[in-house]
Amino acid sequence: MVQFMSYVDVSNKSVVPSGGCVCSAGVSVTLLLLGSEQVYQSWKTYFLRRSHLEAKMSKGHSGGYTCKSLRGHTGRVVGLVYLQGNSAQRPDLWNSSVTTVCSASTDGTVRAWNIQNGELLWCSPPQSPLTQIISDEQCDVLITADSTGLIKTWKGQTGQEVASFSAASPHCTLLHYSVNNDWFLTVGTSQGSVCTLADSALTKKSSIMVCDTFKVNILLVSPDKKWITAGTKDNDDLSPKVIYTESLTSLSEDEDPLCQSLPVTGCQAAVFIPTQPARLAIIHHKEHSNNKALTVFDVSIKKTKYKSEIQVQQVESFPLTLNTWSSPILLEAKDSNCLVLAANQELWVYSLKGTLLASFKEHTMPISSICVDSFRVVTASQDLSLRVLTWKNDRDNGLTLESRYHLLGGSHTMSRGFTHVACDYTSIVASVEGKDGKDVLKAYCFTS
């Protein structure tokens, strides 16, 4: 039996699902789901429907989901994002027929899809090969970068271009965030700089050099939005930097952004812990060794009358034995004490103190992408399979993962393997590299 993700508050006799809706036991209530109109349903009906959905997502039996192949790109898919989906925190089970996923390709187009029926909703005019895509679901906006460094924003519902900015860089790493309801986009370039743009007009606010001559391919914002972490994976002697976000978004002409290097070099992967204001986990090279370590830092600021200083405090550090000469390291965080790592064919779950909670070697070829949420972990591999694992509470080790099933993406006679994967609460979407150069999206939609 699938355990519905909820807890019971005995003090007020309420059931609180992980979706965040508080329901008095035995009483019908109004269930307000973000992203939709108010829907009046009893907590019992919602509970049963969500339980049935989680059962199907946990088992992956034939008939529990549909699979659509989304064709139209004539190049390689470089990224895919949900524009309108059902988050694990607020799954809208009453209006799950309009999940929109957008994909960007080297064919120079962005395509928006209704993944339930496989319909192409719109396609942008061709431009230079695209290199990255991100989305802002709340504002219904897409952001893309192409091989010339041209950054564009698009209206998600129509595909209409909103604004553009030239970063003059063949490689751009994009990071979107909001501070006090103000919209910002920070861009890492192939020249090693970080440029910050504001609002829908993409007005330039600041620029700072973080790794001279090496491309910025690590770019993260902390949960409290006070810190940007920027760095490169391409030089073992350079250290990633933390930058005070306020000094990027509201920089005075006579001052430099507040920035500090972290006391580690050779950064391979990094992630902020989602339940902490500014706790950063970094996988890096160990000093005088080819081995790697994972170190956790807390970042804060100390302000005095005359100056402000960044304070970086090491919380934990432990060695990793990862054989990753040719495969990138993928790192994600779950809650306050759970890290998910993937490299080559293997997946590991660690606590923040370095305890190995679980490990899996189910793929026969390297893992190319992972997706982590509060219900499950999905790994995509070059072996043309997706592996689905769900979270469970172990009596001895606490939170850990349980392997459930796999989904296939086709035949190796036509395809080379999965390259990207994303998921929301009711679906999984992944891109398959075609041997003819035309990538295809596979959309797996679970039904309650």
pLDDT digits (tens), the chain, 448 positions: 344 443 333 333 333 333 333 333 333 333 444 444 444 457 777 788 888 888 888 888 888 899 999 999 999 999 999 997 666 555 565 555 578 999 999 999 999 999 999 999 999 999 999 999 999 988 899 999 999 999 999 999 999 999 999 999 999 999 999 998 999 999 999 999 999 999 989 999 999 999 988 999 999 999 999 999 999 999 999 999 999 999 999 866 667 889 999 999 999 999 999 999 999 999 998 876 678 999 999 999 998 888 889 999 999 999 998 766 667 899 999 988 899 999 999 999 999 999 999 999 999 999 999 999 988 999 999 999 999 999 998 787 778 899 999 999 888 888 899 999 999 988 999 999 999 999 999 999 988 6
Residue 213 is which amino acid?
A: T
Q: Rounded to whole angstroms, how far apart are CA atoms 81 and 145?
A: 14
What pLDDT score was predicted for residue 94? 54
What pLDDT score was predicted for residue 253? 64
Q: Rounded to whole angstroms, how far apart are CA atoms 219 and 171?
A: 13
Q: Rounded to whole angstroms, how far apart are CA atoms 368 and 382?
A: 6
Output the CA torsion 359→360→365→367 (10° steps).
-60
What pLDDT score was predicted for residue 5? 40
3-state secondary structure the chain: CCCCCEEEECCCCEEEECCCCCEECCCCEEECCCCCCCEEECHHHHHHHHHHHHHHHHHCCCCCEEEEEECCCCCCEEEEEEEECCCCCCCCCCCCCCCEEEEEECCCCEEEEECCCCEEEEECCCCCCEEEEEEECCCCEEEEEECCCEEEEEECCCCCEEEEEECCCCCEEEEEEEECCEEEEEEEECCCEEEEEECCCCEEEEEEECCCCCCCCEEEECCCCCEEEEECCCCCCCCCEEEEHHHHHCCCCCCCCCEEECCCCCEEEEEECCCCCCEEEEEEECCCCCCEEEEEEEEEEEECCCCEEEEEEEEEEEEECCCCCCCCCEEEEECCCEEEEEECCEEEEECCCCCEEEEECCCCCCEEEEEECCCEEEEEECCCEEEEEEEEEECCCEEEEEEEEEEECCCCCCEEEEEEEEECCCEEEEEEEECCCCCEEEEEEECC
Q: Rounded to whole angstroms, how far apart are CA atoms 151 and 357?
A: 41
What pLDDT score was predicted for residue 324? 62
Cut 0.75: pTM above it: yes
What pLDDT score was predicted for residue 21? 33
What pLDDT score was predicted for residue 39? 47
